[in-house]
Structure formats: structure tokens, C-alpha cells
Amino acid sequence: MSRLRIEHGTVYTYRQNVEFGRHRLVLRPREGHDLRVDNMILEITPAHRLVWSRDVYNNSVAIVDFTEPAARLEVRSTVVVQRSIPFPREDPRAPCRIAMPVIYDVLEIPVAAAYQAVSYPDDINEIRTWLQQYPIAGDAETLLLALCSLINGQIKYQRRSIKGVQSPAETLRLGSGSCRDLATLMMDAARALGLAARFASGYLDCPASEAGRASTHAWAEVYLPILGWRGFDPTLGEPTSLKHIVIGVSQHPRGVMPISGMFSGAAADYIEMVTQVKIEKIADSID
């Protein structure tokens, strides 16, 4: 069992005071059997009104309405989480094998179907052609691990500060992309294979985040009968683990942006956005 303090700061700067529209924040980690939020402090400037809610994906969402203009918008989240070894303890490569093609329970089909529809329909043929070049066999989880490794080996990671996500076809053509681009490719490739998949956004406990120079991270989760939602990180080429802290999941990458909103003013008023994530280990013990 271990505890982490996660500091996530985002600052937007403008050349003059601008009006801010409603903002949507997905910053609170998702709690479950493997993670609990002990404390969270959310600091936002300028003046505002804030309401917490849960969206259709059961993410905790802060809805912020600003009450004054400003030339600087700052959002700082400090959260302490407690992580524990997932229950039941199991090697993700064994022992339960789910055969391909996956057949979902009749009660789960209506929900699973929403996660089987690709986010970029125009790219489906290009994704399938790419998959046919690298035939992957085996049970569902073995196939997904191979797909995760394939993306990691073929697509070069490249950090991008530009907003938005590359389409899977664009990522394949460029041969490079950010973590969110690789996660989107993994998600839609899994869907092309008939699997229910979703986009996950969160933090990665790694040397960069411990040094305070990281940003948010993204990966894909795939739903398998009995096993449930299983995470795969194509940026690392491996399954997710306790070092992955989820703050939000969605059927589409746009549905789980950590901070989204608009401002009223000229495009030239915007100067920059700076994001910084720092993770500090508070205590670490093994039960």
C-alpha cells in the first residue's frame, strides 16, 4: 500500500483581461478497490462559482462559472491518494483466457456497444488494413498485449502541446504522436477487432512526475468478460499498473479533457498555457 501527493497546476495567460465561459474540470481521481482519495484541494482564480457533478461515465466533474474577467486563469489541484494492490491479485497474462472473438453477456451488450463504435469512422478501413499487415493470434488479452507492443514499437512518442488529438490514420501516416494519440489509435484498433474500448486520462507515477516536470498521461482500457476493464498503455508498451492513476474515462478523447472551456476575446489575446504535474510519495508499505 502506498500514498501519493499529486500536484497538478495549469496556467493560461492572456495579453489583456478576457471573459471566461463555463469550464469543465476532470481532475479528481476515480476511486475503487485499488485507489482511494484521502484529500483534495482545488484552487482556481479568478473569482468563480463551482459545482461538482458526475457525468455519464461516472467521472467526478467540476463545473466552473467565472464571475470576473482576468488576464490569467489558474487551476491548481492537490490531491492525496492511497493505492493498494488490486483485488484479486493476478498476473494480467493469466490465468483466465477470453477467446476471440469476444462475446459479451446479453445484459452488457447495450453498454458495450457504445464502446465498440470507433471514434473516427473515416479511418476504419486504414486501421483494418494496418492490422491485417500484422496478424495477431491468441486469446483476447494476449492479442491486446501484442497490439499495445506493436503500437509502441511502430509509433514514436512525441510530446505535443497543441490541443486536440490526431486521428488514428494520421498517427499511422506520421509514425509519431503524443500519449493521447497513441491511446486513441489503441482504442479504435481494439474496436476494429470487435472489442469495447475507452479512452483513459490521468497521471503516471514516473521519474518525470517525481521531478515535477510531467504533464497528464493517457492510455486505453478494454472491457473483457469476467476480467472487466483492463488498461493498456501503448506509450510504454505494457499493461497499466499501480503507477497509472485514472482521473477520467470516456468513449471519445474529447470527453475527458482535464480542463476544457472557452474565453471571449480575440485569438491574439491568448499567449500560452503551461501545465505541470508533480507526484510525491508520502509513504510506502507492503501489506
* pLDDT per position as a tens digit, 231-248: 999 999 999 998 999 999
For residue 206, what is the domain's CATH number?
3.10.620.30
Residue 27 within a domain: yes
| Residues 267 and 232 both lie in one domain | no
Does residue 87 carry a pLDDT above 90? Answer: no
Does residue 93 carry a pLDDT above 90? Answer: no
| Domain assignment of residue 132, given as a range | 109-256
Q: Give mean pLDDT, residues 67-90.
A: 88
Residue 78 within a domain: yes
Residue 102 within a domain: no
Residue 212 within a domain: yes
Residue 96 within a domain: no
| Residues 202 and 129 both lie in one domain | yes
pTM of the full structure: 0.92
3-state SS, one letter per residue, for the chain: CEEEEEEEEEEEEEEEEEEECCEEECCCCCCECCEEEEEEEEEEECCEEEEEEECCCCCEEEEEEECCCEEEEEEEEEEEEEECCCCCCCCCCCCCCCCCCCCCCCCCHHHHHHHHCCCCHHHHHHHHHHHHHCCCCCCHHHHHHHHHHHHHHHCEECCCCCCCCCCHHHHHHHCEECHHHHHHHHHHHHHHCCCEEEEEEEEECCHHHHCCCECCEEEEEEEECCCEEEEEECCCCEECCCCEEEEEEECCHHHHCCEECCEECCHHHEEEEEEEEEEEEEEECCC
Does residue 286 carry a pLDDT above 70? Answer: no
More confident of the two residues 2 and 105 = 105
Residue 92 within a domain: no
| Number of domain units in the chain | 2
| Residues 118 and 252 both lie in one domain | yes
| Residues 198 and 250 both lie in one domain | yes
| Residues 118 and 243 both lie in one domain | yes
| Residues 133 and 227 both lie in one domain | yes
Q: What pLDDT was estimated at residue 69?
A: 97
| Residues 130 and 252 both lie in one domain | yes
Does residue 210 carry a pLDDT above 90? Answer: no
Residue 125 within a domain: yes
Q: How confident is the model at residue 287 (pLDDT cuts 50, 70, 90)?
A: very low
Does residue 156 carry a pLDDT above 50? Answer: yes
